[in-house]
Amino acid sequence: MTASLPTALMPPLTDETVLTLRPAPKTHVTVRGLSKSFAGAPLYTHFNLDLPRGKIVSIFGPNGCGKSTLMNMIAGLVPVDSGEILFDGKSLKDTQIGYVFQNYRDALFPWITAWDNIAYPLKRKGMRAAEVKSRVDELVALFEIRFDLARYPYELSGGQMQTVCIMRSLATRPEVLFLDEPFSALDFEMTLFIRAKLQDAHIATGTTMVIVSHDLEDAVFLADRILLLTRRPTRIAEIVEFDMPRPRLPEAVADPAFVAVKARTLEVFRREMAS
């Protein structure tokens, strides 16, 4: 159809846009012609990416390739030099997103209780007290919370704080949930717990999720797709699919399918390290 347009009306073809490079079917987030450089050194140039709807995508790559930067540009925390990022064709401004930080201690508001932290974004949306309560109760049931949410964040353990962070980020029913190294400050037991909770939340809500992880096993465990990046200037090295059915139990890490995907991912990673 674009071919029949008079050339004068065509956008210049120097940059990729959703008009020149249409998103794949079932795409939720479209990144086109993204460029970003730091102190003159290009990190991303004309970077294109489609994030599928309702899937969990893990971003994995060598140190300094800009895993977090990519996610933070999509989430609007880091400005882009140029490019276009659309959520279902909408801009970020019109999209409700959630974000889980690596440092849960610095992300929660210590002056209000854990319960009020979860309720805060709902109250600020102008929701009535009764609705806020029922939404928080829903999350408490979904996450099977057994600790006292009337306590202040600093009275909770690390794993409990990160659970509260995830509940807060899901409270507003975001379209996309971004997680920046959500396990890296947690011990192994808590990592297993939060991984399981995130998976439950994903099964229950179907929220599109993007996870940045530096741990290969964590990256593979939750993912439907593992997005492997190259060294800078960063491109997509490969997108590995992982369609093991959910819920995946902790034992899944020993499953031949899991081992195969992990091996494939490691192979690409090592190839990119060497290049």
Partner 1 sequence: MSRFFDRRWLPLLGPLLLLALWQLVISAHWVKAVLLPPPMDTMAHMASVFASGSIFPDLWATLYRTLCSFGIAVAIGVPLGVMLGSAEGAYRSVEFLIDFFRSTPSSALIPLFLLIFGITDVNKIAIASFGAMLIVLFNSAYGVMNAKKTRVMAAQIMGVSRWHVFKDVLLMESLAQTFVGLRSAVSMALVIVIVAEMFIGSETGLGHRIIDAQQVFNVKEMYTSILVTGALGYLLNLAFLLAEKRLIHWSGKA
Q: Which residues bind partner 1 (CB under 8 A)?
A: 75-77, 96-99, 101, 103, 105-111, 120-121, 124-125, 152-154, 172
For residue 142, the minimal CB distance to partner 1 (Å) is: 19
Q: Which is nearer to partner 1, 57 or 108 (CB)?
A: 108
**Cβ-based nearer residue to partner 1, 59 or 156:** 156
* CB-nearer residue toward partner 1: 113 or 265: 113
The residue type at 138: E
User: What one-character DSSP code corresponds to residue 152?
Assistant: -
Identify whether the C-beta of residue 166 lies closer than 8 Å to the C-beta of residue 101. Answer: no
Q: Are 228 and 269 in contact (CB under 8 A)?
A: yes
User: In the chain, what is the greatest distance between 2 CA atoms, to the nearest angstrom?
Assistant: 65
Cβ at position 176, least distance to partner 1 in Å: 11
User: What stretches of 127-198 adopt beta strand conformation (E)?
Assistant: 176-180
How far apart CA 231 and CA 72 sit, in angstroms, is 18
Spatial separation of the C-alpha atoms in residues 190 and 206, rounded to whole Å: 23
User: Minimum distance from CB of 10 to partner 1 (Å)?
Assistant: 35
Q: Which is nearer to partner 1, 20 or 103 (CB)?
A: 103
- In the complex, least distance from residue 77 CB atom to partner 1, rounded to whole angstroms: 6
How far out from the chain centre does Cα 21 lie? 23
CB 207 within 8 A of CB 240: no
CB of 110 to partner 1, least distance (A): 3
User: In the complex with partner 1, which residue's Cβ is closer, 20 or 72?
Assistant: 72
Instruction: Give the C-alpha separation, 129 to 122, whole Å.
Output: 9
Rank residues 34 and 97 by Cβ distance to partner 1 and give the closer one.
97
Please list the residues that pair with 151 across neighbouring strands: none
C-beta of 254: minimal distance to partner 1 in Å?
A: 36
Torsion sign, CA atoms 229, 231, 234, 236:
negative
